Chain A
């Protein structure tokens, strides 16, 4: 290995890789470390920077880390609970903000039909908030019993898997997306002067609706994979 002089570009590359390693998910951290070790063998500084920038793409990967044995279940369950708590908090805040905004529209928008449509969006947000709250994380077992933790982990995984697929997911989409579409289409018809704004909003809502399908089904598959791992360990 030749000695490589630390230029500003190379230092920047190292900073990028270190930041990526810090923010990488546990399952992908090893891969970012692997990328950073290769840096010593890239002599060209710009090539090193491009190499380092590639590591940021790994940050968007959430590699599945299978459980090695049942002793890892309490930690995995706690991680899951923490993630669900963050989702519940963020989800409730987001739906409340949208709910309040559309309740405000009921009193400010001209035209009774547009007010009704605003009300529909507000109701759909209430339903979404209910779903998020109903699928909040359950209470972790108090005792240090591995069987209790395994049972708790399994139940949580099943609840969260079902949140992202089947009736829970499709009803969420079926209630929220049409209400937004009705609001935008109705707004564009009622106020032709603002039609372009409403069209842009409509496009955003439709894209978000389409994007939510693979996102949610992917999450459901991920939870199913974790359930399969747990099942395999228990056998």
Chain B
């Protein structure tokens, strides 16, 4: 029973290491100290919003990702921004794919202009 309880407590700590998660981590490693926007990450990684955001949520839940709302300018609604924490950077360096594999990812909304 003790082992069971231990496993139950440990299980939520694990982060599913899907290829998509690795791609997101690699994207964050590009300018690890910069805050990034969700749409930009989606375009750069080729991941759809329905795939990307659950990954961001999981990373944030495990304290690997810092989030904050952009300071709003007049007439503009604030945007949500993301940056890896120190633990996140260490985790990403360990689990992110090589640059060659990363280049294989296609942009999600190709042909869409970004202002």
Contact = CB atoms under 8 A, between A and B. Distances in A.
The finding on whether chains A and B are genuine partners in a shared complex, rather than unrelated, reads yes
A47 B9 contact: no
A61 B57 CA distance: 9
Contacts of B87: none
Interface string B16-43: 0000000000000000000001110010
Contacts of B109: 42, 44, 47, 50-51
A54 B55 CA distance: 13
Contacts of B53: 31, 34-35, 54-55, 57-58
B59 to A, nearest CB: 12
B4, B49, B57, B80: residue with the most chain A Cβ atoms closer than 10 Å:
B49
Contact of B78 (A28, A37, A58): A37
Contact of B39 (A31, A42, A52): A42
B98 interface: no
Contacts of B42: 51
A224 B9 contact: yes
Contacts, number: 95
Nearest to A28: B57
Given A50-B48, A225-B12, A58 B80 contact: no
A224 B113 contact: no
Contact of B112 (A30, A43, A53): A43
Given A2-B115, A34-B38, A51-B49, A63 B57 contact: yes
Interface of A: 1-2, 28, 30-31, 33-35, 37-38, 40-44, 47, 50-58, 61, 63-64, 165-166, 217, 220-222, 224-225, 228
29 contacts: A1-B115, A2-B115, A33-B80, A34-B38, A35-B53, A37-B78, A37-B79, A38-B49, A38-B80, A40-B77, A41-B39, A42-B39, A43-B113, A44-B111, A44-B113, A47-B109, A51-B39, A51-B48, A52-B49, A55-B50, A55-B53, A56-B50, A57-B51, A58-B50, A61-B54, A217-B8, A220-B8, A224-B8, A228-B9
Interface of B: 1, 4-5, 8-9, 11-12, 37-39, 42, 48-54, 56-57, 61, 76-80, 109, 111-115
> Considering the complex of A and B, which 7 residue pairs feature the smallest CB-CB distances, nearest first?
A54-B49, A54-B50, A34-B80, A57-B50, A47-B109, A38-B39, A44-B112
Given A43-B114, A47-B112, 7 more contacts: A2-B115, A41-B79, A53-B50, A57-B54, A165-B4, A225-B12, A228-B9
